Amino acid sequence: MVIAFGKAPTLGFGKQGSPRVSSPHQFSSHLKPDRQGAGWMGTPTRGIELDRYFGGLFRSDARAFACVATSPNDVPGWQNRARPALRHLIGLSVIETDSSGHVPRIDLGEPEAFDDYTRQLGVIETEPGVHLPFWFLTPPGAGPFPLGIFPHGHEDHGMDTYVGKARDAAHQSRIDREDRDVAVQAVRRGLVAIAPNTRGFLPANVPDDRERHGKRDCRCQAIHCLLAGRTAIGERVWDLSALIDWASGLPIVDSKRVLMMGNSGGGVATLYAAACDARVTVAVPSCSYCSIVGLDGRVHHCDCNTVPGILRFGEFWDVAGLIAPRALAIVNGNQDLLFPLAEVDRAVEECARIFQVAGIPELFEHHYGDGGHRFYADLMWPFVARNLPCPAI
């Protein structure tokens, strides 16, 4: 058998999606295509022209629910069409059917007294067999107080981080350096604060114990629920809405003032939850807002945030636009390596355009913190104070 060897250029993509030519590749005799596009038996091919392929997949004229409003009067009609479509797309209607007749059960543990607040561990069964733990923090007094809900991102037991419950000194130092105890910050500002476990992470996880999903429980959760027509983000939104259902009925809570704030995957959950659930009055997603795909066609977020068909619905700014006329502050770190700043800026401009068209530009803000993938308390709380009136903030 004669195997042809050859040298051929392989096509890649530059930053703006234009083809570039990388260095020639010397094929081996192992008959395996490499990941750069070199082909079988020395055939110099890239089977997919990525710019044309992505250009077709993600063409902007295919986004059926993109906001094209040109006046404030157009916005409610767009939202009334788009919000149910988004809820369906992320699988909430499937979860509703699967949970039909289920009444969430809530158990609250004994209160622990801290200097200026009380903390309880709770568990809510958000759908049959899903027991989601959460921390419940209350300020002194009878209230009613605004409610704050703080979904965490990619971190097992991340709810502990949000209440400043460190596992060791290094963890404590990171919490302090990166303002990560947001539920404590909230209760000290006079909010009732809930820091729930985000589904997909310990203890409410789907373990990748057979190592078929990159040893990542969040991806394992996503793959399993996708098979049933759900999404991982839809399940997280469901859990957050169940917590609002419960907390809104408490005498200590003013259900007209609801803040949601989260970092990273918790920021994505914040954005979707606020878009889908109009009871959220102020949303602050941190280090999570960017285009879903960049101009180079590449995806920025973790697999567990994948919503099949989302780019035939709209882009991330169309999800964010559903939060208007409620208040939205987006915070990013200017050294957060997960999201190209040019893509953040592009996505922010589009979102600002929607709030401008809606006639409420003052209810949208974007800030860059001088740092990485973390919370920025000094950029978040002033916006919350202005838009979630509370004397203690």
Return residues touching Zn ion (CB under 5 A): 218, 302, 304
Instruction: Let me know: does 51 contact 297? Beta carbons within 8 Å.
Output: yes
Length of the chain: 393
Question: Measured from the CB atom, is 302 or 357 closer to Zn ion?
Answer: 302
Joined together, the tokens standing for residue 243 give: 């917590």
Of 186 and 304, CB closest to Zn ion:
304
Q: Residue 283, SS3? A: strand
Nearest distance from C-beta of residue 289 to Zn ion, angstroms? 16
In whole angstroms, what is the distance from residue 365 CA to residue 355 CA?
10
Closest by CA to 307, choosing from 199, 241, 229, is: 229
Residue 198 or residue 387: which is nearer to Zn ion going by CB? 198
Nearer to Zn ion, 198 or 281 (CB): 198
- Residue 139 and residue 82: Cα distance in Å, rounded? 37
Conformational region of residue 59, where left means phi above 0, alpha means psi within -120 to 50, and beta covers everything else? beta
The DSSP secondary-structure symbol of 20 reads E
Q: How far is the CB of 220 from Zn ion (least distance, A)?
A: 10
236 φ/ψ angles, rounded to the nearest 5 degrees: -70, -40
Could you tell me the smallest distance in angstroms from the CB atom of residue 218 to Zn ion? Answer: 3
- Minimum distance, C-beta of residue 283 to Zn ion, in the bound complex (Å): 20
C-alpha 249 chain-centroid distance: 26
**Separation CA 139–CA 370 (nearest Å):** 31
Pick 12 or 203: Cβ nearer Zn ion: 203
**Amino acid identity of 133?**
P
Q: Which is nearer to Zn ion, 290 or 304 (CB)?
A: 304
| Inter-residue contact 162 to 260 (CB < 8 Å) | no
Complex with Zn ion: residue 269 or 284, whichever CB lies closer: 269
**120 burial level (CB within 10 Å; 0-12, 13-18, 19+):** middle
- Please state whether the peptide bond connecting residue 325 to the residue before it is cis, i.e. omega within 30 degrees of 0: yes
Is there a contact between 188 and 116 (Cβ–Cβ < 8 Å)?
yes
- In whole angstroms, the minimum distance from the beta carbon of 219 to Zn ion comes to 6
CB of 339 to Zn ion, least distance (A): 15
- Shortest distance, position 302 Cβ to Zn ion, whole Å: 3
* Cβ closest to Zn ion, residue 265 vs residue 314: 265
Q: Which amino acid is at 268?
A: V
Give the shortest CB-303-to-Zn ion separation in angstroms: 6
